[in-house]
Amino acid sequence: MARDPKHDVLFEPIEIGPKTMKNRFYQIPHCNGFGSEKPLSQAHFRAMKAEGGYAAVCTEYCSIHPESDDTHRVSARLWDDDDIKNLSLMCDMLHEHGALAAAELWYGGPHAPCMESRCVPRAPSQIPSDFEHLTYPKEMDKDDIREVQGFYVEAAKRAREAGFDIVYVYGSHSYLPQQFLTPYYNRRTDEYGGSFENRARFWRETIEQVRDAVGDDCAIAVRMSTDMFMGEAGTQLERDCLPFVELCDEIVDVWDINVSGISEWGEDATPSRFYESGRLLPWQKAVKSVAKKPVLGVGRFTNPDLMVEAIESGSLDIIATCRPSISDPWLPRKIDEGRLDDIRECIGCNICISRWEIGGPPLICTQNATAGEEYRRGWHPEKFEPAKNADNDVLVVGAGPAGMECAMILGKRGMRRVHLVEAGDDMGGGMRWIPQLPGLGEWARVVNYRKIQIDKLKNVEFVPNKRLDAQGVKEYGAEIVVIATGAYWATDGLNGCTHDTIAGADASVPWQLTPEQIMFEGKDVPGESVLILDNDGYYMGVSLAEKLARDGKKVTLMTHLGHIAPYMHFTLEAPNQHRILHKLGVEIVTYHMPTKLEEGRVLAAHVYDEEEHEHEFTTDAVVLVTQRRSDEALYRELKDSVGIDALAAEGITGFYRIGDCEAPRLTADAVFSGHRLAREIDTDNPEVPLPFKRERRVVEREAVLA
């Protein structure tokens, strides 16, 4: 297939300073958990995007000095010669694919707690971070300003030496240059504070110095937030940003334009729950209307038509993607080849971002199980080895995300026949109804992408409306059987707080309900008031609270945790979800756990009240979001009652389970589980994952002892 001519503009080269991008696809700086200290993972992860057609690929935020140390979160670092060596590998691999390499030079100020370096960060004013609690900066005097600007210059030289083509002076997300520009952070009264010219001075001088040092060899990029959504105190488009663009346009080669500060950067990395693609276009267009230099920016672009519109409407010159490039590193190539229905579209769940926010772990992706596994497991998102046991037939029972992924990858690995057998009338499992929760419509892409792929695979057949029992599995005629029957919400109140059921909990009565009873089985929520008990802590409890409040119910959301949905802080969904629930009048009760459910009321006690004083909450209905349980009846019957020997006698040589059927987990991990088994279906023991390559220092014992 060939590219649709209407997308041609996306493949026109563009000059940025001394460099030329071969097309308009740019991977914006984003974290992956690898930094400079897992250089092979880093290089292979970024190179996959270059192989997939990106014209330029950036590091994550790249610290210029130990004073900007974000530990526990993982940044890249350009502190010394060894960092140059490690990051040069990424540059070399990008260059092999004809892509430019970019480094986002970063100084965090008070947001970087320096937990490893134990340095003291510097800032325009001595105010503790609004993002990283208990971190106080040193207020910079003029010597400090010169010194930190020197850090930028030295880091830029190191970036050039490593092979980077583009170097940033990064401000967005409330980092140092933007702190100087923003009254919220800058309360100075000297020539670096007060008027626009003064607030802009630090950033302008730093850009000038970096440009003088490396500008002949590297393009200079500036990433700026154009609205912090905090009124006069925050950076403002008209007051600060457009004048800044006019002031610095001559010394900047490319503008990277976004919005938000760091404490609510979900306004930039927008969850699909609240924002559609292209949310930042009005700000980007405003900058482009005054900038003579190219403007790039993100917008969770997955649809090439929207990308073309962004360029043709004069909003952007270069289409930057972050999450869509994680979900599908081959996005540009698939557009180029006209394979639009092969694009694995980002669902905007922000599970990738959650791993950075947690601090430490490598990123994961709901849609792309290979994200982050390029080096350590050697997985390529688009290339599959024929399985050594491809002459086998496979039965996958259950077409949820894990089963679909497993069947799809087994199909791509050339198994003779794969039957994906499902009790329901369509694919999707829990993901058939989860996207019907408020705001989660794009999550249906998990199902739709796989459905389209499975439909294309001639060796994979989907069999709906067939509930197999143990006998049916045994006699189905497959050599390999994979059980992927998913999980269900506990109906008896079993939970991770008390590790017990709750007295009176029983979702078979009309006034008690589980999430799937409401969303999938159509069970009516009786009465006017409903109490949702959330011991899960992710999206289910709050989503049902929003839905039922929108349906007109008086909703109480109770959790044993100190926050509702704490995991949604990591996915950047929490702030807006709090706003929505507050506006809808949902009553939130934290640190409480029911002791007894009765028709018409719930008795609950404070979790830190050893005396267990019970409070009464009157309610017409109770929704139990306590915990999920594996739907493992079929697996247990086959393993325990029928037995592996009897299965072997029928010719079944491989018997496995994947996804929530083994243990309930994030959708990303369920998909990974199905993918992992399919990738390793021809190993000696597919049940046990192969070891992955670990990047760590291995001690040369003799040398150390000598």
Catalytic positions:
175
Q: How far is the CB of 224 from other proteins (least distance, A)?
A: 38
Position 567 contacts other proteins (CB under 8 A) = no
Q: Which of 256, 241, 248 is nearest to 286 (CA)?
A: 241
User: What letter would DSSP give residue 690?
Assistant: P
Q: Which helix (H) or strand (E) holds 590?
A: none
Residue type, 606: H
Position 4 contacts other proteins (CB under 8 A) = no
Report d(CA 269, CA 455) in Å as an integer: 32
Is residue 108 within 8 Å of residue 261, measured between CB atoms?
A: no
Q: Single out the segment in contact with other proteins by CB under 8 A; choices: 119-127, 260-268, 381-389, 460-468.
A: 460-468
Q: How far is the CB of 458 from other proteins (least distance, A)?
A: 7
Burial class (CB in 10 A: 0-12, 13-18, 19+), 342: middle
Q: How far is the CB of 393 from other proteins (least distance, A)?
A: 5
Tell me the number of residues near other proteins by CB under 8 A: 14
Q: How far is the CB of 537 from other proteins (least distance, A)?
A: 40
Position 671 contacts other proteins (CB under 8 A) = no
Position 417 contacts other proteins (CB under 8 A) = yes
Q: Count CB atoms within 10 A of the CB of residue 476.
A: 18
Distances (CA, A) of 547 to 433, 525, 530, 555, 666: 13, 12, 12, 10, 21
Backbone angles phi, psi at 615, to 5 degrees: -110, 150
Restricted to residues 339-368, the positions that interact with other proteins (CB under 8 A) are none
**By C-beta, is 254 or 457 nearer to other proteins?**
457
Candidates 30, 44, 419, 578; binder of other proteins (CB under 8 A) is 419
Q: Which of 399, 393, 581, 544 is nearest to 476 (CA)?
A: 393
Restricted to residues 394-413, the positions that interact with other proteins (CB under 8 A) are 395
Q: Single out the segment in contact with other proteins by CB under 8 A; choices: 19-27, 166-174, 428-436, 470-478.
A: 470-478
Q: Token pair for residue 488?
A: 């269900």
Q: How far is the CB of 475 from other proteins (least distance, A)?
A: 6
Q: Token pair for residue 659?
A: 């996804």
Q: Token pair for residue 198?
A: 């003064």
Position 465 contacts other proteins (CB under 8 A) = yes
Candidates 21, 87, 364, 478; binder of other proteins (CB under 8 A) is 478
Is residue 298 within 8 Å of residue 28, measured between CB atoms?
A: yes
Candidates 128, 282, 361, 477; binder of other proteins (CB under 8 A) is 477
Q: How far is the CB of 631 from other proteins (least distance, A)?
A: 22
Position 466 contacts other proteins (CB under 8 A) = yes
**By C-beta, is 463 or 666 nearer to other proteins?**
463
Position 461 contacts other proteins (CB under 8 A) = yes
Position 467 contacts other proteins (CB under 8 A) = no
Position 454 contacts other proteins (CB under 8 A) = no
Position 475 contacts other proteins (CB under 8 A) = yes
Report d(CA 336, CA 677) in Å as an integer: 31
**By C-beta, is 126 or 471 nearer to other proteins?**
471
Q: How far is the CB of 419 from other proteins (least distance, A)?
A: 6
**By C-beta, is 85 or 467 nearer to other proteins?**
467
**By C-beta, is 415 or 574 nearer to other proteins?**
415
Binding mask 7-36 toward other proteins (x if CB under 8 A, else -) reads ------------------------------
Position 6 contacts other proteins (CB under 8 A) = no
**By C-beta, is 455 or 599 nearer to other proteins?**
455
E strand segments, 127-265: 138-139, 166-170, 219-225, 254-258
Report d(CA 64, CA 147) in Å as an integer: 12
**By C-beta, is 477 or 496 nearer to other proteins?**
477
Report d(CA 95, CA 692) in Å as an integer: 27
Q: Which of 1, 659, 701, 49 is nearest to 326 (CA)?
A: 49
Q: Count CB atoms within 10 A of the CB of residue 599.
A: 13
Report d(CA 435, CA 547) in Å as an integer: 12
Q: Single out the segment in contact with other proteins by CB under 8 A; choices: 353-361, 371-379, 473-481, 641-649.
A: 473-481
**By C-beta, is 181 or 481 nearer to other proteins?**
481
Q: How far is the CB of 403 from other proteins (least distance, A)?
A: 16
Reported residue count of the chain is 706
Q: Single out the segment in contact with other proteins by CB under 8 A; choices: 469-477, 527-535, 606-614, 658-666.
A: 469-477
**By C-beta, is 174 or 459 nearer to other proteins?**
459
Position 649 contacts other proteins (CB under 8 A) = no
**By C-beta, is 174 or 453 nearer to other proteins?**
453
Q: Which of 591, 403, 592, 405 is nearest to 481 (CA)?
A: 403
Q: How far is the CB of 7 from other proteins (least distance, A)?
A: 16
User: What letter would DSSP give residue 553?
Assistant: -
Position 463 contacts other proteins (CB under 8 A) = yes
**By C-beta, is 131 or 476 nearer to other proteins?**
476
Report d(CA 314, CA 317) in Å as an integer: 7
User: Which are the contacts of 225, defined by CB distance < 8 A and separation ≥ 6?
Assistant: 171, 172, 173, 174, 178, 235, 241, 258, 259, 260, 261, 268
Q: Single out the segment in contact with other proteins by CB under 8 A; choices: 9-17, 207-215, 285-293, 458-466.
A: 458-466
Restricted to residues 368-397, the positions that interact with other proteins (CB under 8 A) are 393, 395
Distances (CA, A) of 103 to 94, 263, 443: 12, 23, 32
Q: How far is the CB of 461 from other proteins (least distance, A)?
A: 8
Position 458 contacts other proteins (CB under 8 A) = yes
Position 1 contacts other proteins (CB under 8 A) = yes
Q: Token pair for residue 3?
A: 């590219």
E strand segments, 64-214: 76-77, 100-106, 122-123, 138-139, 166-170
Residue type, 233: A
Is residue 256 within 8 Å of residue 166, measured between CB atoms?
A: no
Is residue 483 within 8 Å of residue 638, measured between CB atoms?
A: yes
Q: How far is the CB of 476 from other proteins (least distance, A)?
A: 5
Task: List residues binding other proteins (CB under 8 A).
Answer: 1, 393, 395, 417, 419, 458, 461, 463, 465-466, 475-478
